[in-house]
């Protein structure tokens, strides 16, 4: 039987980094925005709507991380266990003209690269949470500033989207997805 | 070269150990970068709740257009009606009569509560400084008592004007109003932070000018706050609060200097009333006391950050002969300074300083317009007395 354990382990690490790092970013970002939201609501419960919208923004990085992890698991076949991964490695070996062992290793490293991309990009949620917290305060003081504050807060999102995009491109480029 | 060959060339038996080492190095480097960022984030997170609350509180500060409408009011009843739609409303309910003093009491009580509220939200080291500043209402009350006793008002009349919001025991404040002489009132302050007021009695006896006693009270208050601010390890937020306090002290000192020059007080007798600390050197402030006229005091400020605001108020001073425009300019500068800190430090103590600064300006303006309307001043005359955020 083909030894694919290293590749499987790396793919699992990639999926874990994708979700874990993004969750750290999203969690901290949402936490900061939530604290600001709680402050606004403590003074005026009608600010709940504003607080909720801004608090939701840093959550998207967590969703990207989750999506990245799922794509990695589907692409490398580890959802189907060792057999699934082995089958994907064999397919890749055929496409790349290499041994299945090497293909397994490449798949694992690709998963780590993809996971790092979306996971670390997910840390942008921390910055977004800080902007969201400032925006909750600004909009609480000046409701007319909602649109402008929303634009400022959404800016950090760009980098998270780029991170996810690179993960998808890695997986598609190596024919792990859409092949 | 395969990954296994790469690992072998680097002295590893296979690729997984190489990968493990690479991952460990990446983790350590990541932590070195991430930990300082995380510490900064935690610092910001500490203020997220309080700053957001303070921003909501700031949104309730009376806006300029509303203040303009209030200036046009034809009676105090109209002012009270306008204030009913503001956060002063609950404090106005206890008003016994529509007098400017009653409105003033409501404003002061609200402001002291705002200080307390903000003090509960900031970290402990900053809380201590804000708590000292709450004592300004004790100082306010003691000044009222001293003026009342000096003018031989009855204890009941004096008590009616007091604002029970400071840190001193209300009973103690009530007892002070019973005093029959300034000496008695001041000796009753024994055991309080204001017992040092007795040091000024001799100069008061020579000058018979209450300014020296009032200046001593400001001196005690701000020196205590400054002592608190300088006795703690400095961080970014404490530094911002210290800068604000320093500007506050400078403004108090400069107003005292201008008042002293206007009243013709001799430099030697009053230089001990200069509050120590602040941004301007004590020796500089003392040198301004040596100058003989208000105009020369203004000239001596050239090169300091107070020159531009003050020079702008000189034409009005020259036409009216009152130093009020200069005092308004200095207070306006302080409000601007506070507002600037709130903009430059939005994730620390900034919004709290900005809010308290604007709140004090609001209270002062409402008090001024209430007194003006009660005294029958025209809207134009009141507008001239209204404080604006300096430019």
Kindly tell me if the per-residue pLDDT of A150 is higher than 70: yes
pLDDT of residue B292: 80
pLDDT (tens digit per residue) in A34-77: 999 999 999 999 999 999 999 999 999 999 999 999 999 999 99
Q: Is the pLDDT of residue B124 over 50?
A: yes
In a domain, A179, yes or no: no
- At residue B45, the 3 state secondary structure works out as helix
Contacts B41 to A, Cβ<8 Å: 28, 32, 126, 130
CA–CA dist B99, B374 (Å, integer): 8
> What is the pLDDT at residue A34?
95
* A167 vs B85, more confident: A167
Neighbours of A57 (CB within 10 A): 23
Is A20 within the bounds of a domain?
yes
Q: What is the pLDDT of residue B25?
A: 93
* Residue B229's pLDDT band (cuts 50, 70, 90): confident
B43 to chain A, any CB pair closer than 8 A? The answer is no
Assess B45–A contact: CB distance below 8 Å, yes or no. Answer: yes
Cα–Cα distance measured from residue B295 to residue B194, given in angstroms and rounded to the nearest whole number: 33
Q: What is the mean pLDDT of chain B?
A: 86
Query: Would the pLDDT of B44 be above 80?
Result: yes
The 3-class SS string of chain A reads: CCCCHHHHHHHHHHHHHHHHHHHHHHHHHHHHHHHHHHHHHHHCHHHHHHHHHHHHCCHHHHHHHHHHHHHHHHHHCHHHHHHHHHHHHHHHHHHHCCCHHHHHHHHHHHHHHHHHHHHHHCCHHHHHHHHHHHHHHHHHHCHHHHHHHHHHHHCCHHHHHHHHHHHHHHHHHCCCCCC
Residue A1 predicted with pLDDT over 60: no
Domain extent for A110:
5-173
Residue in B3, B52, B59 nearest the CB of A39:
B52
The distance of A40 to chain B (nearest Cα, Å) reads 5
Chain B residues in contact with A126 (beta carbon < 8 A): 37, 41
Q: What is the pLDDT of residue B346?
A: 85
Average pLDDT of span B275-281: 87
Q: Per residue in B207-226, pLDDT tens?
A: 788 888 888 898 898 888 88
A52, A137, A139, best to mutate vs chain B, most B CBs in 10 Å = A137
Is residue A76 in some structural domain? yes
Q: Which of A36, A39, A141 sits opposite B59 (nearest CB)?
A: A141
Q: Say what the alpha-carbon torsion angle A16, A17, A23, A28 is, to the nearest 10 degrees.
A: 140
Mean pLDDT of all residues in B239-261: 89
- Average pLDDT for chain A: 92
What b/e sequence results for A140-163 when a residue is b if at least 16 CB atoms lie within 10 Å of its CB, and e otherwise? Answer: bbeeeeeeebeebbeebbebbeeb
The pTM of the full predicted model, rounded to 2 decimals, is: 0.81
* Contact criterion met (CB < 8 Å) for B50 and A39: yes
pLDDT at residue B278 in the model: 86
- Token pair of B312, please? 């702008």
CA dihedral B346, A139, A41, B54 (to 10 degrees): 40
For chain B, the distance separating the N- and C-terminal CA atoms, rounded to the nearest angstrom, is 68
pLDDT tier, A179 (very low <50, low <70, confident <90, very high otherwise): low
For B161-186, write each residue's pLDDT tens digit.
787 777 888 888 888 888 888 888 88
Q: Is residue A160 part of a domain?
A: yes
A47 Cα to chain B: minimum distance (Å): 9
User: Is residue B277 pLDDT above 90, yes or no?
Assistant: no
Is the distance from CB of B141 to CB of B162 less than 8 angstroms? Answer: yes
Residue A40 lies in a domain: yes
Question: What is the residue whose two structure tokens read 């402050």?
Answer: A39
* Residue A29 binned pLDDT confidence (cut-offs 50, 70, 90): very high
Total domain count, chain A: 1
Render pLDDT for A82-93 as a digit per residue (tens, 0 to 9): 899 999 999 989
pLDDT for residue B105: 83
Between B93-107, B175-189, B191-205, the lowest mean confidence (pLDDT) is in B93-107
Determine the pLDDT at residue A131: 95
Is residue A109 domain-resident?
yes
Model pLDDT for residues B12-36, shown as the tens digit of each residue: 888 778 878 988 998 899 889 888 8
Any chain A CB within 8 A of the CB of B12?
Answer: no
pLDDT band at B2 (very low <50, low <70, confident <90, very high): low
**pLDDT tier at A132, thresholds 50, 70, 90:** very high
pLDDT for the residue A118: 97
C-alpha B221/C-alpha B239 separation (Å) is 19
pLDDT band at A151 (very low <50, low <70, confident <90, very high): very high
Decide if the complex's ipTM is over 0.85.
Answer: no
**What tokens appear for B224 in the block?**
């205590």
The CA distance from B344 to the nearest CA of chain A, in Å, is: 13
Cα separation values, B26 from A130, A138, B20, B34, Å = 26, 38, 10, 12
Q: How many CB atoms lie within 10 A of CB B22?
A: 11
Of B319, B321, B301, the residue nearest B311 (C-alpha): B301
Residue A120 lies in a domain: yes
The backbone torsions φ and ψ at residue A127, rounded to the nearest 5 degrees and listed phi first, read: -60, -40
Q: Does B77 touch chain A (CB under 8 A)?
A: no
Specify the higher pLDDT residue, B381 or B127.
B381
**What is the CATH number for A71?**
1.20.120.610
Q: Is residue A178 part of a domain?
A: no
Contact B215, B256 (CB under 8 A): yes
């Amino acid at each position: 039987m083909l030894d694919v354990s290293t590749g499987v382990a790396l793919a699992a690490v990639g999926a874990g980094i994708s979700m874990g790092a993004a969750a750290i970013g999203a969690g901290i970002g949402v936490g900061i925005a939530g604290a600001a939201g709680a402050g606004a609501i403590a003074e005026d419960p009608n600010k709940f709507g504003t607080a909720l919208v801004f608090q939701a923004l840093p959550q998207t990085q967590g969703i990207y991380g989750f999506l990245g992890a799922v794509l990695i698991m589907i692409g490398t076949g580890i959802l189907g266990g060792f057999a699934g991964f082995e089958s994907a490695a064999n397919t890749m070996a055929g496409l790349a003209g290499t041994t299945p062992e090497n293909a397994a290793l490449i798949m694992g490293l690709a998963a780590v690269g993809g996971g790092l991309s979306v996971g670390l990009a997910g840390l942008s949620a921390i910055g977004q949470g800080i902007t969201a917290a400032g925006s909750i305060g600004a909009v609480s003081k000046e409701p007319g500033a909602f649109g402008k504050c929303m634009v400022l807060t959404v800016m950090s999102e760009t980098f998270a989207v780029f991170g996810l995009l690179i993960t998808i491109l890695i997986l598609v480029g190596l024919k792990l997805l859409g092949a | 070269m395969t990954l296994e060959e790469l690992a072998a060339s680097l002295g590893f038996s296979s690729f997984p150990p190489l990968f493990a080492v690479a991952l460990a190095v990446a983790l350590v480097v990541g932590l070195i970068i991430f930990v300082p960022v995380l510490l900064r984030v935690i610092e910001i997170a500490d203020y997220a709740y309080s700053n957001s609350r303070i921003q909501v509180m700031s949104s309730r500060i009376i806006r300029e257009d509303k203040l303009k409408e209030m200036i046009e009011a034809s009676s105090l009843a109209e002012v009270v009606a306008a204030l009913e739609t503001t956060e002063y409303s609950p404090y106005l309910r206890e008003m016994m009569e529509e007098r400017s003093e009653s409105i003033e009491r409501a404003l002061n009580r609200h402001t002291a509560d705002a200080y307390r509220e903000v003090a509960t939200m900031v970290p402990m080291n900053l809380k201590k400084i804000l708590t000292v500043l709450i004592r300004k209402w004790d100082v306010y009350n003691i000044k009222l008592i001293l003026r009342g006793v000096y003018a031989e008002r009855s204890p009941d009349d004096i008590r009616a004007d007091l604002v029970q919001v400071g840190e001193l025991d209300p009973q103690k404040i009530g007892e002070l109003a019973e005093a029959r002489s300034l000496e008695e009132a001041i000796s009753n302050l024994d055991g309080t932070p204001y017992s040092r007021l007795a040091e000024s009695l001799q100069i008061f006896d020579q000058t018979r000018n209450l300014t020296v006693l009032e200046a001593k009270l400001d001196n005690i208050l701000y020196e205590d706050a400054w002592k608190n601010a300088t006795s703690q390890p400095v961080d970014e937020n404490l530094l911002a609060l210290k800068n604000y306090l320093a500007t506050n002290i400078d403004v108090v000192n400069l107003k005292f200097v201008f008042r002293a020059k206007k009243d013709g007080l001799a430099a030697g007798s009053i230089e001990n009333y200069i509050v120590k600390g602040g941004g301007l050197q004590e020796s500089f402030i003392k040198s301004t006391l040596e100058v003989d006229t208000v105009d020369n005091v203004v000239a001596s400020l050239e090169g300091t950050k107070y020159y531009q605001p003050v020079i702008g108020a000189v034409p009005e001073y020259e036409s009216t002969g009152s130093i009020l425009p200069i005092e308004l300019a200095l207070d306006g500068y302080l409000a601007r300074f506070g507002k600037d800190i709130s903009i430059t430090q939005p994730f620390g103590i900034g919004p709290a300083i900005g809010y308290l600064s604007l709140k004090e300006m609001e209270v002062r303006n409402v008090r001024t317009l209430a007194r003006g309307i009660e005294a029958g001043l025209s809207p134009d005359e009141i507008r001239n007395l209204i404080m604006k955020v300096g430019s």
